[in-house]
Each structure stands twice: as structure tokens, then as C-alpha cells.
């Protein structure tokens, strides 16, 4: 199954105004947004879609109260779309929608959409680094730090579900949709990638009690670690509350910074994720704090030389 990754996440929300402001400040471009909601796009066209929770066009809500209504995957071509329809149609309803996409549910009850991907090809320079002994990443007189640089979310990276049976949930994506496990936390979580990408994961499943079933977080890729730190610093300065980070994960190696959001889950900035092909052998580790990040910063207000560091006492 040539699934490229998530094209869009669809939410039914309580406070449309707060969500519109949040995703605009986060850096996504509003497209067709009005008082009823709309779409917020990354540079490549992947997106977040919001509507009021009572909007009749949304798929039914889960009984756990999660605001996520649908995860829409982009596929390479119509042949892949038809193959998915045939495979899932063997044991569940597959709806064909007027826009040419299809819709079905996974084994945990999450509504999935599949469409020929809307992703646009993008050409954005990666972050460059000068390292002793290596060929310079930047030419002489080209500075690396720019306080006025604009870093936009480039593409929808991954989504994380809370599920009551992560082993069963994983089997559905592996056996039915051709995903591969890249790494796992023992009996607690599974990282998965579809065949159409080398990204370490586009889906992470975490074992939780049934009443918690829903989305834990999602994220968009930025161009590098500096983009995560600079964009996250600006976002925090606008009053958005940090949940976790900034830091760097072990599994996936991606830099991260998570924020609380009005869509009932955490929203992350990330960058520099590992790539894996089919020869990769999944690692396994216990689900504990030391395995979640290789390092973790604590965001504080800025500091200038000549004064005590933030949080310390002057003597």
C-alpha cells in the first residue's frame, strides 16, 4: 500500500475562534476559513481542518470526547486507493465520498480517510551547520542566526493515538495497510510508518485505559532544530503554554516542543526525524522517562550577560 502519510486531521471543536487564532499563530495558512471553521495549511498543502463539534458534515464523535473526528491519509495514486478499498471492504463498510476519497474505520474506531495525496512538492533549504573538520555548511560571511527568520510548518508529520489495545491496533495498520513497526515501547507503545515514506513514524500508538481513547498529539515538521527553538520561543511569547520541551527524542531522534491547544490535545513542532528503510530492525525499550528523550530543556525568559540567570537569586 503506497500510503505517503497523513494529509489532514479533522477536528470538531468547542471554541472556533480560539482554534482559528491558535493555528494561525502556530504558522499554518488559513484557507477558506470563516465563522464555521476551515482549513489551515502547511507549506506542502497538508493541513488541519476544524469545524464546530455540532457540524453535521463531521463523522460522529467518539464517546470518549476526543475532538479528533478523522485522520485523512494521502496515497500515491488511484490504484493504491482502490487497493485499500478492496482490502478494508472485506470486513467493514467503506464509504466512497463525492470528492473521490474513501472512508472507513480502524479496529479501535478511529475514522480514516484515504485520498490521492494533495501534497505539493516543496523546495525549502534545510538548516546548515559548520562543524570543525567537516566541509562548511555555510560559506564565509553567511551568518547562521537570524532573529527575523520566518519558519513555517512544512508538512504534517505524525499523529499519536491513545488506544486500549495497542497490539491489536498495530496489527490493523501492519496487516491491512502495510505499515511497518520502526520501534516499540514494551507492551506500551508502537511507532509505525507507511510504505510511502521513510520517516521514522507517522503514527504512534500508546496503550491507555479505554476511557482515554483519542488523540494525544500531532505535529508538523519544521526545517531544523533552530526552527523548532525559534518558532517555539515566539509561540510561547504569544502566551501559549508549553507542555513538554524543547528537547530531543531518542526513538526517531526528532527535536520537539509541545504546547497545549484548544483542540483537546497537544500540538508539537518537530524537526530532523530519522529515516528508515525496510532493512531497519525495530528496537524495543521500556516505557519510562529516560527512554522518551535524550535531553530536555526548560524554557525560560531571555537572559543577558551582567545579570543573574533566570530562576537564580542575586547575591
pLDDT digits 0-9 by tens, 150-181:
999 999 999 999 999 999 999 999 999 999 99
pLDDT at position 34 over 50: yes
Q: 275: Cβ–Cβ under 8 A, 6 or more apart, which residues?
A: 198, 199, 200
Long-range contacts of 13-16 (CB under 8 A, 24+ apart): 13/37, 13/50, 13/51, 13/52, 13/53, 13/67, 13/262, 13/263, 13/264, 14/52, 14/53, 14/67, 14/262, 15/262, 16/50, 16/51, 16/52
pLDDT at position 309 over 70: no
What are phi and psi for residue 199, nearest 5 degrees?
-50, 140
> Which residue, 82, 103, 80, 94, is CA-closest to 8?
103
Dist CA 265 CA 270 (whole Å) = 16
Residue 38 C-alpha cell reads as 476551515
Position 20 confidence tier, pLDDT thresholds 50, 70, 90:
very high
Cα 272 off chain centre by: 13
Domain locations in the chain?
3-120+154-296
Evaluate whether 96 touches 104 at the Cβ level (below 8 Å): no
Sign of the Cα pseudo-torsion (191, 195, 199, 203, in order): negative
Instruction: Judge: domain 3-120+154-296, CATH 2.60.120.10.
Output: no
Determine whether 40 is exposed, middle or buried from the number of CB atoms within 10 Å of its CB (0-12, 13-18, 19+). buried
pLDDT, tens digit, for every residue of 107-150? 999 999 999 999 999 999 889 999 999 999 999 999 999 999 99
pLDDT at position 92 over 90: yes
**Rounded percentage of the chain residues whose pLDDT exceeds 70:** 97
3-13 and 37-41 as β-strands: parallel, antiparallel, unpaired? unpaired
How far, in Å, are 56, 164, 193, 229 from residue 60 at the CA level? Answer: 9, 19, 27, 37
pLDDT at position 305 over 90: no
Dist CA 89 CA 273 (whole Å) = 34
* Average per-residue pLDDT for the chain: 94
Dist CA 137 CA 127 (whole Å) = 9
How far, in Å, are 11, 204, 268 from residue 229 at the CA level? Answer: 27, 23, 12
pLDDT of residue 158: 98
DSSP state of 265: S
pTM for the full predicted model: 0.94
Amino acid at each position: 500500500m503506497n500510503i505517503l502519510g497523513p494529509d489532514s486531521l479533522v477536528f470538531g471543536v468547542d471554541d472556533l475562534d480560539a482554534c482559528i487564532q491558535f493555528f494561525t499563530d502556530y504558522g499554518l495558512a488559513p484557507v477558506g476559513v470563516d465563522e464555521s471553521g476551515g482549513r489551515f495549511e502547511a507549506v506542502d498543502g497538508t493541513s488541519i481542518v476544524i469545524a464546530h463539534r455540532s457540524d453535521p458534515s463531521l463523522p460522529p464523535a467518539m464517546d470518549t470526547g476526543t475532538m479528533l473526528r478523522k485522520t485523512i491519509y494521502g496515497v500515491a495514486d488511484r490504484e493504491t486507493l482502490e487497493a485499500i478499498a478492496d482490502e478494508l471492504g472485506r470486513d467493514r463498510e467503506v464509504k466512497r465520498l463525492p470528492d473521490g476519497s474513501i472512508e472507513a474505520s480502524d479496529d479501535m474506531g478511529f475514522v480514516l480517510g484515504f485520498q490521492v495525496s494533495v501534497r505539493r512538492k516543496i523546495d525549502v533549504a534545510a538548516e546548515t551547520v559548520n562543524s570543525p573538520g567537516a566541509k562548511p555548511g555555510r560559506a564565509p560571511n553567511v551568518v547562521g542566526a537570524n532573529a527575523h527568520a520566518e519558519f513555517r510548518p512544512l508538512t504534517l508529520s505524525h499523529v499519536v493515538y491513545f488506544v486500549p489495545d495497542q497490539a491489536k491496533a498495530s496489527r490493523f495498520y501492519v496487516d491491512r495497510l502495510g505499515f511497518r513497526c520502526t520501534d516499540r515501547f514494551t507492551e506500551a507503545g508502537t511507532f509505525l510508518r507507511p510504505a510511502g515514506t521513510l520517516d521514522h513514524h507517522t503514527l504512534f500508538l500508546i496503550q491507555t485505559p479505554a476511557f482515554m481513547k483519542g488523540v494525544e498529539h500531532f505535529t508538523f515538521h519544521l526545517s531544523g532544530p533552530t526552527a523548532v527553538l525559534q518558532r517555539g520561543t515566539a509561540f510561547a511569547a504569544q502566551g501559549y503554554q508549553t507542555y513538554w520541551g524543547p528537547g530531543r527524542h531518542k526513538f526517531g531522534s526528532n527535536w520537539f516542543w509541545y504546547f497545549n491547544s484548544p483542540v483537546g490535545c497537544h500540538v508539537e513542532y518537530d524537526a530532523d526525524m530519522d529515516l528508515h528503510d525496510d532493512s531497519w530492525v525495530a528496537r524495543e525499550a521500556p516505557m519510562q522517562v529516560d527512554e522518551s528523550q535524550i535531553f530536555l530543556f526548560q524554557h525560560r525568559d531571555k537572559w543577558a550577560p551582567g545579570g543573574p540567570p533566570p530562576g537564580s537569586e542575586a547575591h
